[in-house]
Amino acid sequence: MKNISAKIIFGLLSLVVMLAVISLSVCAETSQETATNDTPVVTTEVVTTEEITVVETVASEPVDTAPSETQAAGEETDASTSQEEGALNVDFTPSNFVANLKYMAAGMAGIFIVIGAIVLCIVILGKVTDRKSNDEE
């Protein structure tokens, strides 16, 4: 009975943590969309005249585009918006979890291989030193 309640508690705690993480990410997405829609798009043109480089900045009406396009076009404004107080400076990209599974596989395989090599060396070393001490005796 105790084991079952421990499992239930553990499951509930995991659920709460996951919900907190997801809700934070939803807030992040919402605040990013709000920042995108409200902020005028700033386009920057670089004009080079002989040795003088002039950067002309033109503000235009906000355009309802995909977040990535807006980010590319309005990089400066988005950067300043995202650094405002309380704004969440993260992008929720669930596909990255799957994309990074390869690192998990490679990392775990790498650790086991390295540790396996170390264990093998220690076992061989132990046998060699044991043999030497037996010969001396």
Partner 1 sequence: MEFLNLLSGLIPKSFDWRQIVMWIIGGVLIYLAIKKEMEPTLLLPIGFGAILVNLPVLGDLPALQELYNAGIATELFPLILFIGIGAMIDFGPLLSNPKLMIFGAAAQFGIFFTLCLASMFFAPNDAASIAIIGAADGPTAIVVADKLNSQYLPAIMVAAYSYMALVPLIQPPVIKALTTKKERMIRMPYTQKNVSKTTRILFPIIITVIAGIAAPSSVELVGFLMFGNLIRECGVLDSLSETAQKVLANLVTIFLGISIATTMRYDAFLRIETLLILGLGLFAFIFDTAGGVLFAKLLNVFLPKDKKINPMIGAAGISAFPMSGRIVHKMGLKEDPTNFLLMHSIGVNVSGQIASVIAGGLILNFFM
- State the residues that interact with partner 1 by CB under 8 A: 3, 6-7, 9-11, 13-14, 17, 20-21, 24-25, 27-28, 86, 88-94, 96-97, 99-101, 103-104, 106-108, 110-119, 121-123, 125-126, 129-130, 132-133
* Residue 29 C-beta: closest distance to partner 1, Å: 11
Strand locations in 1-137 (E)? 42-49, 52-59
Alpha-carbon 38 to chain mean position? 26
* Residue 50 C-beta: closest distance to partner 1, Å: 37
Is residue 54 within 8 Å of 47, Cβ to Cβ?
Answer: yes
Which SS3 state, helix, strand or coil, does residue 121 take? helix
* Residue 28 C-beta: closest distance to partner 1, Å: 8
Distance CA 36, CA 23 (A): 20
* Residue 39 C-beta: closest distance to partner 1, Å: 20
User: CB-wise, 32 or 41, nearer to partner 1?
Assistant: 32
Distance CA 91, CA 76 (A): 17
User: CB-wise, 40 or 126, nearer to partner 1?
Assistant: 126
